[in-house]
Amino acid sequence: MDTQKKNVVVLAGCQAITQVKMSMLIAIAGLSGYALAADKTWATLPITIYVIGSALATLPSGTYMKRHGRRSGFAFGATFGIIGGLICAAALWLDSFLVLCIGTAVLGVFVAFGRAYRFAAADSAPKEFKAKAISLVLAGGIVGGVLGPNLANWTKDVMPGLEFGASFVAISVLSALTLLALMPLRIPPLTAAEKAAPGRPMREIMRQPTFIVAVTASAVGYGIMNLLMVATPIAMHHHDYPFSNTAFVLQWHLIGMFAPSFFTGHLITRFGSLKVMAAGAVLNLVCIGIALAGESVWHFWAALAILGVGWNFLFTSGSTLLTETYQPSEREKTQSMHDFITFATMAVTSLVSGALLSQQGLGWHAINYGSLPFVLVVLVAIAWLSSMRRRGISGTAPG
């Protein structure tokens, strides 16, 4: 196996472990927050803090990896996963909502480093393989879809009197496994000249129409997905569905997120990033329609599964489109800015999700109706860049 393919396999394995942890966290953090928060409006604050921690750590993580390399950066990030899981478990023991928020913030730092797995695969791949490399690394996340919610359910009551305590400890153990999985990774480092070169100013890179559309697709795709996914456990709790039903819905949502990755890269190579992106936006509209049609377990299941596929198309095509906007000396800061904007969007949607759900009888519908304008923004952005390219304008400034 050549080095490029080996790197994809290693990074897909790391993505799998990371997604198990993230899906567990999404399944349990809101419910843990709901149990600990005096004001239930703030039930999703631990998830919001986790996303804010990710956003704040994203730009520094890019700087760290430019200086020390990808593998060192990923290993450094994994230590935050070990520490964060233990802090969250301690929060349950201490019955402290504040400590839970601190723990999820630390877990967010780990995720900020781990988000670069897909870019690390693309950086060492030839142009014609970049979309497939990104897609195949994201495909590792299907393990999280299958195992994560179930692992949360299996470990929920392992520690008597400390619901989800063992689940957070499991997150720490999985973070330690990431360190082992990273050992075979071989990413060519930047040359001394590339490390020293500042590249274009970030504001110039961000003015490129291609950058704007790539970030819009990723941020809106992630924002809407996060808004509905974070809301789902609490919305189902309001309907008195057992946690096993919630785990089932989240499991299929995560499968929807990552199973398409086995062919999304091929679709992008064949049809182009913008067409796949548009398909993702349309799937988001279908998801919203189903969610508004009813609130049975099967409505939640169908909406969340389709939402996952829509996210996959938007995020994978957005990430692939982004690789057209930078030179090697600019890659870490450009990738980090892309993810910073995405995480900042997620932070807002997490906080809004909890506030809207506190309005009994209105919250779930309000969340879905509120998502519609943002899907339309993505479709308008795609039409804008498509029109430019039909006129022979690439939308990417020369580097």
94 within some domain: yes
What is the Cα–Cα distance from 20 to 145, expressed in whole angstroms?
7
50 in Cβ contact with 30 (< 8 Å): no
399 within some domain: no
pLDDT at 89: 95
pLDDT at 360: 54
What is the Cα–Cα distance from 66 to 194, expressed in whole angstroms?
9
Q: How many domains does the structure of the chain reveal?
A: 1
What is the Cα–Cα distance from 117 to 342, expressed in whole angstroms?
16
Express each pLDDT in 102-125 by its tens digit. Answer: 999 999 999 899 988 988 888 877
Task: Assess whether pLDDT exceeds 60 at residue 1.
Answer: no
What is the Cα–Cα distance from 317 to 237, expressed in whole angstroms?
34
pLDDT at 392: 86
**Percent of the chain surpassing pLDDT 90:** 46
The mean-pLDDT minimum among 72-76, 173-177, 191-195, 332-336 falls in 191-195
Express each pLDDT in 44-95 by its tens digit. Answer: 788 888 888 888 899 899 889 988 888 999 999 999 999 999 999 999 999 9
Task: Assess whether pLDDT exceeds 80 at residue 359.
Answer: no
Domain CATH number, residue 76 = 1.20.1250.20
Tell me which residue range forms the domain holding 35. 3-390
pLDDT at 397: 60
98 vs 127, higher pLDDT: 98
What is the Cα–Cα distance from 396 to 323, expressed in whole angstroms?
11
294 within some domain: yes
192 within some domain: yes
pLDDT at 346: 79
Round the average pLDDT of the chain to a whole number and report it: 88
**Percent of the chain surpassing pLDDT 70:** 94
pLDDT at 308: 95
395 within some domain: no
The mean-pLDDT minimum among 3-17, 263-277, 303-317 falls in 3-17
71 within some domain: yes
pLDDT at 381: 97
396 within some domain: no
397 within some domain: no
115 vs 169, higher pLDDT: 169
